[in-house]
Amino acid sequence: MAEIRRATAADADAIGQQRLRMFVDAEVKFAVPMETMVANFVEWLRPKLEDGSYVGWLAEQDGRLVAGAGLWVMEWPPHFMHAEPRRAYLLNFYVAPEMRRQGLARTLLALAVEEAKARGITVVTLHASKFGKPVYEQYGFKMSNEMMLRNPS
Ligand SMILES: CC(C)(COP(=O)(O)OP(=O)(O)OC[C@H]1O[C@@H](n2cnc3c(N)ncnc32)[C@H](O)[C@@H]1OP(=O)(O)O)[C@@H](O)C(=O)NCCC(=O)NCCS
């Protein structure tokens, strides 16, 4: 049975590798070189793990990382939905193929939402892959009205 623990700054590289596997398994099309994304992500992540604005959970079984998830506390302007100047963004949900459909993502999601609640955060957002969508929908997440413009000219 996998054991879940909180990540520390020493896990930054491992989380970067999980993030890469997440995108590959989610079958996304990379617009940037994968190695650049990982290197830049780990550099972004390390200070946030240290100051607590990123909280990571890692699941281990037989000394091997088999799943993970993260919560990033984003500064966000007070809004008609919430008066506090922040939101939680959930990211890096990844479960190794042989461990899927055993409830690990559901457990990690519950931990992340609990963390947001404990911090007084009332709006939690994420971007779902086609594989993650059913997990979040089952929990109660709904589609929002986000729009995006890429590479403006
Ligand atoms: C998405 C992912 C994290 C789900 O992890 P998981 O541990 O297998 O998910 P869970 O076992 O907690 O699933 C919870 C529920 O979500 C739904 N669900 C999960 N995976 C599903 C799938 N592939 N198809 C349909 N429903 C699915 C099911 O209802 C499931 O409950 P059930 O097994 O009792 O029916 C995992 O498949 C994964 O890492 N995929 C590749 C990377 C990725 O897309 N990550 C998500 C980024 S947003």
Q: Does some domain include residue 90?
A: yes
Cα gap 44→18, rounded to integer Å? 15
Q: Which H or E run includes 23?
A: helix 12-25
pLDDT tens digit sequence for 105-152: 999 999 999 999 999 999 999 999 999 999 999 999 999 999 999 999
**Whole-number percent of the chain with pLDDT over 70:** 100
Looking up tokens 């607590």 gives 52
- Tell me which residues have their CB closer than 6 angstroms to ligand 1: 22, 25-26, 93-95, 100-106, 128-129, 131-132, 134-135, 138
Q: Does some domain include residue 148?
A: no
Residue 57, C-beta contacts closer than 8 angstroms, at least 6 positions apart: 4, 5, 6, 7, 68, 69, 70, 108, 111, 112
Cα gap 129→134, rounded to integer Å? 9
| 4: Cα separation from own chain's centroid | 15
Q: How confident is the model at residue 14 (pLDDT cuts 50, 70, 90)?
A: very high
What is the pLDDT averaged over residues 39-51?
Answer: 98
Q: Does some domain include residue 76?
A: yes
Domain that holds residue 116: 3-139
**What pLDDT does residue 114 have?**
98
Cα gap 95→21, rounded to integer Å? 9
Q: Does some domain include residue 145?
A: no
User: Domain holding 59: CATH number?
Assistant: 3.40.630.30
Q: Does some domain include residue 147?
A: no
Report the residue among 24, 28, 65, 100 best suited for mutation to probe ligand 1: largest number of ligand atoms under 8 A from its CB.
100
Looking up tokens 């079984």 gives 61
| 24: Cα separation from own chain's centroid | 15
Q: Does some domain include residue 149?
A: no
- C-alpha distance across the termini of the chain, in Å: 51
Task: Name residue 70's beta-bridge partners.
Answer: 56, 91
Q: What is the tally of structural domains in the chain?
A: 1
Ligand 1 centroid to residue 50 C-alpha, Å: 29
Report the nearest atom of ligand 1 relative to the CA of 107: 12
Q: Does some domain include residue 144?
A: no
What is the pLDDT averaged over residues 73-79?
Answer: 98
